[in-house]
């Protein structure tokens, strides 16, 4: 297990011990989104030094942990493809079933290119429904056209 994976386990243990929710941790770190801060604390994004110090204070982490939170991570490390967790697998299933549709509709609207996952925003919310609450995910990524060279 890498030092970053160990830190993720330490963060999850502190979150459980302190009975915290991601939605309460995130605003204590700064003005970023709960999605981004959760991803950072789970090892997928770096925090600024100021955000890392705030995370250390909220989660009872030490200075070495805070420093590690500022380092660029190995994104996607440890991921299994296809994913085996049922919730994560459903996103893989969405890409399998709708990926070509998303591609066709995006290219029809924008041209040949991609939606950035770097210049990107996402939000997750509960949407009440009489037949059972729904998960609402909104994603917005900058369109980046392919260049001829």
In the chain, what are the domain boundaries? 3-69, 86-144
User: Mean pLDDT over residues 3-23, rounded?
Assistant: 97
Q: What is the mean pLDDT of residues 8-16?
A: 98
Supply the pLDDT for residue 26: 97
Q: What's the confidence (pLDDT) of residue 77?
A: 78
The pLDDT tens digits of the residues spanning 64-114 come to 999 999 999 998 877 888 899 999 999 999 999 999 999 999 999 999 999
In the prediction, which pLDDT does 81 show?
A: 87
Are 113 and 145 spatial neighbours (Cβ–Cβ below 8 Å)?
A: yes
Task: Show which residues are catalytic.
Answer: 90, 93, 116
Domain 3-69: give its CATH superfamily: lambda repressor-like DNA-binding domains (1.10.260.40)
Give me the pLDDT at residue 136, please.
Answer: 97
Residue with tokens 């500022």: 70
Domain covering 86-144, topology: Cyanate Lyase; Chain: A, domain 2 (3.30.1160)
- Do 111 and 80 contact (CB within 8 A), yes or no? no
C-alpha distances (whole Å) from 33 to each of 24, 29, 131 are 11, 10, 29
Report pLDDT for 141. Answer: 97
Quick check: do 3-69 and 86-144 share a fold?
A: no
Q: What is the pLDDT of residues 16-45, one digit of tens each?
A: 999 999 999 999 999 999 999 999 999 999
The tokens describing 149, both together, are 């060279």
Report residue 1's pLDDT band, with 50, 70 and 90 as the boundaries. confident
pTM: 0.86
């Amino acid at each position: 297990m890498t030092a970053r994976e160990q830190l993720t386990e330490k963060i999850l243990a502190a979150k459980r011990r302190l009975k915290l929710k991601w939605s309460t941790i995130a605003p204590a770190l700064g003005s970023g989104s709960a999605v981004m801060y959760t991803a950072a604390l789970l090892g997928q994004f770096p925090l600024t030094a100021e955000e890392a110090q705030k995370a250390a204070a909220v989660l009872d982490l030490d200075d070495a942990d805070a420093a590690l939170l500022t380092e660029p991570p190995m994104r996607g490390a440890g991921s299994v493809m296809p994913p085996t967790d049922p919730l994560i697998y459903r996103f893989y299933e969405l890409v399998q079933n709708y990926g070509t549709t998303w591609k066709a509709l995006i290219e029809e609207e924008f041209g040949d290119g991609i939606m950035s996952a770097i210049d990107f925003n996402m939000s997750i919310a509960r949407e009440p429904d009489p037949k059972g609450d729904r998960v609402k995910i909104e994603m917005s990524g900058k369109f980046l056209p392919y260049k001829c060279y």
